[in-house]
């Protein structure tokens, strides 16, 4: 490296890095536009209730979600899940429920073996109903008030 050209070399490196960064941002934005927003995918969540004490296999549920935490929240909103929870948990109030979440058997995707409860249809129905409730929960727009009547003009006087 020639010492006299070091300043020009560093300047060229900085300019090239900035141009590359701008180009990368443009490529990333274009790919995001082409691919669209991320879509939910299936997640398997596995739980064991009282049946595990009788040697039965745990129960797996499949919902669509963005991540495992989102999947757990989605499952908790479903009426069928609540029914299963009450039926297999042991107590109607759910305070002393004997349900065990099995994180080692919960993962993205569908189960590779065994039976599972596919909750995705119910999830879509509950989501659609929820969005309809939100739309109907808003108070109807009040009609625009009628314009105020024009002020009366004074009677014209004619003098002769």
pLDDT tens-place string over residues 53-110: 888 889 999 999 999 999 999 999 999 998 888 887 766 555 667 889 999 999 999 9
The answer on pLDDT for 117 being more than 80 is yes
**What values do phi and psi take at 17, rounded to 5?**
-65, -40
Task: Identify the pLDDT of residue 5.
Answer: 81
Q: Please determine, for residue 143, whether its predicted confidence score (pLDDT) is greater than 80.
A: no
More confident residue, 142 or 53: 53
- pLDDT recorded at residue 157: 46
pLDDT digits (tens, 9 = 90+) for 20-63: 988 998 998 888 888 888 889 999 999 988 888 888 889 999 99
How far apart (Å, rounded) are the C-alpha atoms in residues 72 and 46? 10
Q: Which residues does 128 contact at the CB level (< 8 Å), separation at least 6?
A: none
Residue predicted with more confidence, 148 or 11: 11
The predicted pLDDT at position 131 comes to: 57
Q: Helical H runs in 6-119? A: 6-35, 68-76, 79-89
- The pLDDT assigned to 130 comes to 62
| pTM tops 0.95 | no
């Amino acid at each position: 490296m020639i010492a006299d050209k070091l300043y020009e070399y560093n300047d060229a490196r900085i300019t090239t890095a900035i141009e590359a960064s701008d180009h990368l941002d443009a490529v990333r934005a274009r790919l995001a536009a082409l691919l669209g927003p991320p879509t939910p995918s299936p997640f398997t969540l596995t739980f064991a209730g009282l049946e595990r004490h009788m040697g039965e296999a745990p129960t797996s549920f499949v919902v669509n979600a963005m991540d495992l935490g989102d999947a757990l929240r989605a499952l908790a909103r479903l009426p069928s899940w609540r029914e299963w929870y009450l039926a297999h948990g042991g107590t109607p109030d759910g305070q002393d429920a004997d349900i065990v979440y099995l994180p080692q058997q919960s993962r993205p995707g569908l189960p590779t073996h065994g039976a599972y409860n596919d909750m995705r249809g119910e999830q879509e129905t509950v989501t659609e109903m929820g969005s309809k409730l939100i739309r109907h929960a808003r108070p109807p727009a009040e009609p625009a008030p009628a314009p105020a009547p024009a002020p009366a003009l004074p009677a014209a006087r004619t003098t002769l």
